[in-house]
Amino acid sequence: MNDLRQNTPLSISVVIPIHNEEESIPLMHEQLEAVFSRMDREYELIFVDDGSTDTSINELVKLTEKDPHVVVVEFRRNYGQTAAMQAGIDEAGNDVIITMDGDLQNDPSDIPMMVEKIEEGYDLVHGWRKNRQDAFINRKLPSKIANRIISKTTGFPIHDLGCTLKAIRREIAQELELYGEMHRFIPILAHRRGAKCVEVVTKHHARQFGETKYGIGRTTRVVLDLITVNFLLRYFDSPMKLFGRAGIWCGVVAAISGLATIGMKLFSGTDMTGNPLLTLTVLSIMVSLQFLSLGILGEVCTRMYYANSNNRHYAVRNIIRHRSRQPVTIPARAA
């Protein structure tokens, strides 16, 4: 069975978030078709319309009418790139999931190379836009700084977390929970779950149409998500290790300052009511109790998380496919 699976070409699902990319959609589809026409593999192209306000959805519907490989997931409103990525991953049904931008800056010709890396035994292949075709001040420089900070903070060596072009084994991708701006942390989250990751140099093109839809304004969200990722990497399974340790240290401070306050009262007659150490003691006790309470609540929430929940943070208006791939409705038997 294992030998048969290894000899069978891996099937591919391409996930592409779309937000106001009406000019890019036909060209992207044409490029993807050209790539897959040279690859002897089963594939599907999953476009996720992230609440576009232009004619993107009309362009996508046209693709489903002529190409049975195209699937369109239409959101009810704009939820952001991470939610669109998650929806596409949830819909994907093939062995390998390729994620890429819908603005033609990623090059579909890199897909065969990344799939070959997966077949070598890697679980995740993430792109590095070494020769990035973006403005330096507001795009490349902040990205370089952010990548350096993230790499140092998480201990995960990487040059370009912002590159959307990735190849992931489906079982790994569907284990991840993506929200906020978490799509850029996919390699780190996958590595945490034991995935074997590798970074490869990929092509990058200047934007041809419109302006970036997910720009520098999300920097603060990325910073906050970095804090979240560090928490998930170290303390998600047992948050009491973080909050409990902080509570214990605050308790130690309370004990020391309390003993010092009592000693000053007994040996030098210092008035306790005006002693700042007494205030520090009370404050430390309160903070210690709060940290311990947060730790207990965190442990309860962790247990609840593992016990249930398939809730999603996005809402789908419609899933559109070629008529040959529409589910067959079996008529009810007459009474």
Beta strand pairing call for 43-49 and 197-201: unpaired
Residue 330, pLDDT score: 41
CA distance 335 to 320: 33
Q: Report which listed range, 35-39, 172-176, 320-324, is most confident.
A: 35-39
Both tokens assigned to 166: 């990735």
Both tokens assigned to 257: 């300052």
Look at residue 130 and tell me whether its pLDDT is greater than 50. Answer: yes
Mean pLDDT of 322-326: 75
pLDDT in tens, 266-318: 878 777 777 788 888 888 889 888 888 887 777 667 656 655 556 677 889 99
Four-residue CA torsion sign, 204, 101, 114, 162: positive
Residue 128, pLDDT score: 86
The backbone torsions φ and ψ at residue 70, rounded to the nearest 5 degrees and listed phi first, read: -90, 135
Residue 239, pLDDT score: 76
Residue with the bigger pLDDT between 225 and 73: it is: 73
Mean pLDDT of 56-67: 95
pLDDT class of 29 with cuts at 50, 70, 90:
very high
Longest dimension (CA), the chain: 97
Mean pLDDT of 172-191: 83
Look at residue 214 and tell me whether its pLDDT is greater than 60. Answer: no
pLDDT class of 143 with cuts at 50, 70, 90:
low
pTM score, whole prediction: 0.71
Both tokens assigned to 163: 């590159």
pLDDT class of 183 with cuts at 50, 70, 90:
confident
Look at residue 25 and tell me whether its pLDDT is greater than 90. Answer: yes
Lowest mean pLDDT among 90-94, 176-180, 319-323, 326-330: 326-330
Mean pLDDT of 72-78: 95
pLDDT in tens, 186-207: 888 888 888 999 999 998 887 7
Whole-number percent of the chain with pLDDT over 90: 39
Both tokens assigned to 58: 């009309």
- H/E stretch holding 255: helix 240-268
Mean pLDDT of 44-59: 95
Residue 299, pLDDT score: 65
Please give the mean pLDDT across all residues of the chain.
81
pLDDT class of 261 with cuts at 50, 70, 90:
confident
Lowest mean pLDDT among 29-43, 161-175, 290-304: 290-304
Mean pLDDT of 316-321: 92
- As separate numbers, helices (DSSP H) first and strands (DSSP E) second, the chain gives 11, 8
Burial tier of 34 (Cβ tally within 10 Å: 0-12, 13-18, 19+): exposed
